[in-house]
Structure 1
Amino acid sequence: MRQLIIKRLLQAIPLLFFVSIVCFGLIKLAPGDPVLSFITPNMHAEDIERIRHNLGLDQPAYVQYWRWLQECLSGNLGYSLVNHQPVLDQIVDRLPATAGLMGISIALAVLLAIPLGLIAGANRNRWLDKLINLVAYIGISIPLFWLAILLIYYFAIKLHWLPSMGMRTIGKNSAGDVIKHGILPCTVLTFGFLAGYLRYIRSGTIGQLKEEYVQIQYAFGSKKSTVLFRHVMKHVLLPIITLLGLSMGELVTGALVTETVFSWPGIGSLGMTAVRGMDYPVIMGITLMSALLLILGNLLADILYGIADPRIKSGEVTS
């Protein structure tokens, strides 16, 4: 297991380097100019060029990338071109809001998907399976931003039960107020994750119920619920471990559109603001942090795979 961890960490170095090159190239190819956010109607061309020089945008792309890479290797992700604040500080400040929202949403989705997926798979093609499948298809099909707007209209505007935006009410600093603000965005994200997890668990349950060990358990007189939740569930959860590992990257990026719709002060809304302002250092910093967490999530999934199924040897684990 130690060799696996060391091998994956060493593989992460060239992968992160490749991700940074691709991201930087795409940013440079994208239309727009960050200098435009500093220009005023009465500004002269010399002043504009001076701003471009001070921001380092008058240098060739490879020179800009090399300077950014040098700063990054020293632990500095640079400064925002818009607000001139350190990129790392902005990410760290907003990370708890996104991690909390995404973490709770993913946890709720898994807790709901496990029993629902098992029940759907055990009742294949029956009305209960069709009902659960309908919920999953709706979750996969509808855009989350559209669902978010509907929830805001109904629960915030029409019923006045929940706040429509932000993380806290001005003048209040209580956990209950944060929870109240997080109900709507958490519901939207949980519904989105739930749809995907349901399909995986249902498919795995159908496949496991055809295995011989299930028939042996029935022959020994085990109840259907016992076989389903004690034996089948262990095998069905293995693919979910992989999905959770892949979800680690989303703890940084969050749901960009969902956070923007609800004005949630997380990294997702920070990323959207950076994209609109062509804030290269912030975009690069968020992308790099997301890629790093995704790599660590895959490594964690491999480790959990070996713990969940002792038959899997660390040298044979594949991502």
Structure 2
Amino acid sequence: MRQLLIRRLLQTIPLLIFVSIVCFAMIKLAPGDPVLSFVTPNMHAEDIERIRHNLGLDKPAYIQYFLWIKEAVTGNLGYSLVNHQPVTEQILDRLPATAGLMGAALALAVLLAIPLGLLAGANRGRWIDKLVNLVAYVGISVPLFWLAILLIYYFSIHLHWLPSMGMRTIGVNSAFDVLKHGIMPCVVLAFSFLAVYVRYIRSSTIGQLREDYVQIQYAYGSTKRIVLMRHVLKHVLLPIITLLGMSMGELVAGAIVTETVFSWPGIGSLGMTAVRGMDYPVIMGITLFSSIMLILGNLAADLLYGVADPRINSKR
């Protein structure tokens, strides 16, 4: 396990370098000039060039990249062009909000998908299977932002049950208040992943119920519930672990949309603000940080594979 972990971490180094080069090139090719945010109507051309020089934007692109990556290795991602605050501090300040939202949404999706998928697979063709499939199709088809707006209208504007935006109520500092603010963002982010996970678990359950070991368990007198929970579930968990690793990218993208709609103070909303303000250091920092999160998520899924099925480690 230790050798596997070291080998996977070493493999992430060239991947991170490639991601940083691509992101830096895309930002440089994007329209707009960050210097324009500092320009006033009465400013002279010499002053504009001085600002460009102070920001290091007058150097060739490859020199700018090497200077940035040199500082990024030490944890220094530069300063925001908008609020002049360290990028690393801004990301770390907002990381708990994003990590909490993503973790809660992922846990909710998995905890609901496993029993629903097993139930639908064990009752293939019956009304419960059709109902679960209908919910799954809706979850796959409905855009996150539309579902978020729908929940805000119904639960916040119409029923006044839940707050519509933010993470805390002004003047209130309690865990229950944070929980109330996080219910709708968590449900919205989890819904689309729940639909995908349910479909995979249902398909895997149907396949496992055709295996010989299931028929042997029935011959020994085991009930369907015992077969599902003690035997089928172990085999169903493996594709779920794979899905967790593969869906990390969609989870980050979904978190950005969800945080923007609900004004959730996480990394996603910070990134959208940086894009609107052409705050390149913040955009680069968030992109690099998101890439690290994706790589660590896939690494965790790879390691969990070995925990769920120890035979896999012996083949590596």
TM bucket (normalised to shorter chain) is over 0.9
Q: CA RMSD in A?
A: 1.6
Matches within 5 A, 1:301-312: 301-312=301-312
Deviations 1:124-182 (A, max 9, x none): 22221111011111111111001101111111112111111111111111111111111
Matches within 5 A, 1:1-319: 1-247=1-247, 255-316=255-316
Report the Cα offset of residue 46 of structure 1: 2.7
Q: Cα offset for 1:248?
A: 5.1
CA-CA distance at 1:242 after TM superposition: 2.1
Secondary structure of 2:85's aligned partner: coil
1:313 is paired with a residue of what secondary structure? Answer: helix
Cα distance change, pair 314–35 in 1 and its aligned pair in 2 (3 A): farther
Q: Which amino acid aligns with 1:78?
A: G
Matched residue pairs, number?
A: 316
**Alpha-carbon contact 1:253-1:271 (below 8 Å) kept:** no
TM-score, with normalisation over the residues of structure 1?
0.94
Quote the offset at 1:50 in angstroms.
Answer: 2.2
**What runs of 5+ residues in structure 1 fail to find an aligned partner?**
none
In the TM superposition, residue 73 of structure 1 has moved relative to its aligned partner by: 1.8
What letter matches 1:291 in structure 2?
A: S
- Using the aligned pairs only, state the percent identity: 81
Q: Unaligned 5+ residue runs, structure 2? A: none
- Separation in structure 1 between the aligned mates of residue 272 and residue 25 of structure 2, nearest angstrom: 19
Q: Is the 8 A contact 1:253 1:267 kept in 2?
A: no
Cα distance in 2 for partners of 1:168, 1:113 equals 29
Deviation at 1:61, TM superposition (A): 1.1
Give the deviation of 1:250 after TM superposition. 6.9
Q: Do the aligned residues in 2 keep the contact of 1:306 with 1:313 (CA within 8 Å)?
A: yes
Distance 1:253 1:266 in 2: 13
In 1, Cα distance between the equivalents of 2:142 and 2:250?
20
Q: What displacement does 1:52 show?
A: 1.8
SS at match of 2:196: helix
The one-letter amino acid paired with 1:120 is: A
- TM-fit CA distance, 1:40: 2.6
Which deviates more, 215-224 or 274-283? 274-283
CA drift at 1:293: 2.2
1:46-68 CA distances to partner (integer Å, 9 max, x unpaired)? 32222222211222211110110
Given that 1:99 and 1:251 are in contact with CA atoms closer than 8 Å, whether structure 2 keeps it comes out as no
Distance 1:242 1:256 in 2: 23
**Which range is displaced more, 137-146 or 125-134?**
125-134
Kindly tell me: are residues 24 and 52 of structure 1, through their superposed partners in 2, closer, same or farther at Cα, counting changes over 3 Å?
A: same
